[in-house]
Amino acid sequence: MGVDEAMQSPGIGSFLDSIPNGACILDSNRRVVYWNAILTEWTGVSSQSALGRDIAEFIHPDQQHVLSLILTQVMEGGGAVYLSPQLHPHFIPAPYPNGGLRIQQTIIQPMRGPLPGENTLLLIIHDVTEMVRQVQAYRAVRDRALQELEERTRAENALQVSNRKLNLLSSITRHDILNSLTALLMYASMMREEAEDENTRAGFEKIESLGWTIKRQIDFTKNYQDVGVKSPQWQNVQLIVHQAREQLEGDGFRLESRVEDLEVYADPLLSKVFYNLMENSVRHGERVTEICVSYQQDPGGITLVYADNGVGIPDSEKEKIFRRESFKNTGFGLFLSREILSITGLAIRETGIPGKGARFEIRVPGDAFRIMHE
Amino acid sequence: MNEDPVVLDGIRELINIGVGKAAGILGELTSSHVILEVPTLYIGEVGNAEGPGEGLGNAPLSMVFIDFSGPMRGRMAIMFSPESAANLVILLTNEDDTTAEMDMIRSETLTEVGNVLINGVMGTIGNFLGQPLAFALPVYVQNRAAYLSAPFKEKDHYLFASTQFKVKGRSVHGDMLIVLEMGSLQPLVKKIHAIMDQV
């Protein structure tokens, strides 16, 4: 059986013409004995024209030394040769009609046949241009993302440095103002005591009162400076509530805490929130003897409830108490508390009935709480 | 298992010849000076406590393997951590992108490198036996080392060799694994003994 007969018999020839890859078969003298339709389409070389020619005529000049290596490898008992698109992108140059060369992955498989009694090499060439382009596009996107991340990290580091400098400046300034303020208050107090008439005394009292207001405002800046500085963390609410209680002077109320298994994800200043709530109960609740902290769970999260049995908060004040200008009544505490809670998406509001006690509800979304016994 | 030092030395020598050839071809393909060393070799049974995956952990590895048949039947693989695999490809191809991530382009390149290496070693062993081996196409996978020996039986043998690639003055560590079906090691052992007896 001759070459033509071997290749035209129903079998490998018709199979190789039906696959979507370039394919050719070389005899032991590396001459083309089969050249499939896809290779004709890719190279413009007809099967008739390719047959009998040395494969070296069709191989990219840069790949000529690869061909001799391949033959050596095959002759030395190796198996199939695998040529990757990165190292051999254009083993047999195959241009696209609109320009540019196909990127190829090539497999060269030694085999017996189809020529009778002869070792041959089967070349299968797969067009991987689209896959390579997609990987390159992915790499470009990844590189952009990495670059943006690097820039963001740099910016964050710069912001941290700036923040430290600003905190230092504000700390020094605050210290100096408080020193001067202390002296001013001392002089005002002395002048008030030495005042000979009521009008002058009243004037100095006003100066003192304004001085104390300034001091509270300065203290607020110190507290507010710490909000959001440290990363949020999971905190046991029971522990936090008891810590807040211990920081309060005196124990004029009974604390009932039903949150022992509850942890919330919040700014480390969470204890300050409960301290402020308790301090307000003691200071403004007038008759507070009981404080209760509990929670209710629903499909969307939990509602953490702080309630006392004091005089409560008038309806007209329920939202105002969270404003910064309400410091006269709450010492900035509730404004600050709302800020602290909002860092991790927690929201606070007052829902008590005036005359029956204050009731603060802290809404905690589903991803910001966990119940430990579960 | 047969841990006869003569057999171990013989197999180590064959592997060294094979990787030497492979290093030459890789150097030619990549226009780099490539040195390949195989400092250690173990032989064991797949079912042993110290099986072929032992010591490589459960982390996924980038692996290229080829199944072979003939006088010996089994599978040979070259294994890297994905980072080492990416670094080896970067060194061999002078890529500008130095992110140690295995994507499709790099896995194709590693397949070619593994193919050259496996052909070098198994071709040398086949020639030594005087009977050529038949090879399947190379396969790239990212999986645990145990994946490679999963189709084999407990009494089948394996050869495990740590491998050091040195390219442009930098080293990349990989491991070679040859898993042989029962009885496939015997022709090699016999041939090594026959040669040693002649010596």
Shortest Cα–Cα distance, B89 to chain A (Å): 10
Q: What is the bridge-based pairing of β-strands A119-127 and A254-257?
A: unpaired
What token pair was written down for A147?
Answer: 């670059």
Query: How many Å apart are CA A315 and CA B156, to the nearest integer?
Result: 83
Give tens-digit pLDDT for A129-145: 999 999 999 999 999 99
Query: How many Å apart are CA A305 and CA A350, to the nearest integer?
Result: 10
Q: Which helix (H) or strand (E) holds A34?
A: strand A32-35
Least confident of A117-121, A198-202, A356-360, B191-195: A117-121
Nearest CA in chain A to B125: A77
Please determine, for residue A250, whether its predicted confidence score (pLDDT) is greater than 70.
no
Please determine, for residue B52, whether its predicted confidence score (pLDDT) is greater than 70.
no
> Residue A31 has what DSSP assignment?
B
pLDDT score at A288 = 93
Please determine, for residue A278, whether its predicted confidence score (pLDDT) is greater than 60.
yes
Give chain A positions within 8 Å (CB) of B99.
139, 142-143, 146
**Quick one: pLDDT band at residue A231, thresholds 50, 70, 90?**
confident
In this prediction the pTM is 0.68
Query: How many Å apart are CA A139 and CA A53, to the nearest integer?
Result: 41
pLDDT score at A6 = 55
Domain that holds residue B162: 5-198
User: Which phi and psi angles does A258 have, rounded to 5°?
Assistant: -115, 55
B30 touches chain A (CB under 8 A): yes
User: Which residue spans within B16-147 are E strands per DSSP?
Assistant: 34-45, 61-69, 74-80, 134-135, 139-143
Q: Which helix (H) or strand (E) holds A194?
A: helix A129-194
What token pair was written down for A6?
Answer: 């071997």
The answer to whether the Cβ–Cβ distance between B127 and A77 falls below 8 Å is: yes
Q: Could you report the predicted ipTM of this complex, rounded to two decimals?
A: 0.85
Query: How many Å apart are CA B123 and CA B110, to the nearest integer?
Result: 19
Give tens-digit pLDDT for A291-337: 999 999 999 999 999 999 999 999 988 988 988 766 455 556 898 89
pLDDT score at A3 = 57
Shortest Cα–Cα distance, B49 to chain A (Å): 32
**Based on the structure, what is the number of domains in chain B?**
1
CATH number at residue B22: 3.40.1550.10
CB atoms within 10 A of CB A270: 26
Please determine, for residue B49, whether its predicted confidence score (pLDDT) is greater than 80.
no
Scanning B102-141 for CB atoms below 8 A from A yields: 103-106, 108-109, 111-112, 115-116, 118-120, 122-124, 126-127, 132-138
**Quick one: pLDDT band at residue A192, thresholds 50, 70, 90?**
very high
Contacts within 8 Å (CB) and 24+ apart, A94-101: A94/A22, A94/A39, A94/A42, A94/A43, A94/A125, A94/A127, A95/A42, A96/A129
| Residue with more model confidence, B199 or A321 | A321
Give chain A positions within 8 Å (CB) of B108.
84-86, 105, 128
Give tens-digit pLDDT for A171-180: 899 999 999 9
The per-residue pLDDT of chain B, averaged, comes to: 85
pLDDT score at A153 = 94
Share of chain A above pLDDT 70, in %: 93
Three-state SS at B9: helix
Task: Strand A290-298: give its sheet, edge to edge.
Answer: A254-257, A290-298, A301-308, A359-365, A347-350
Give tens-digit pLDDT for A2-20: 555 555 555 677 788 888 9
Least confident of A101-105, A156-160, A248-252: A248-252
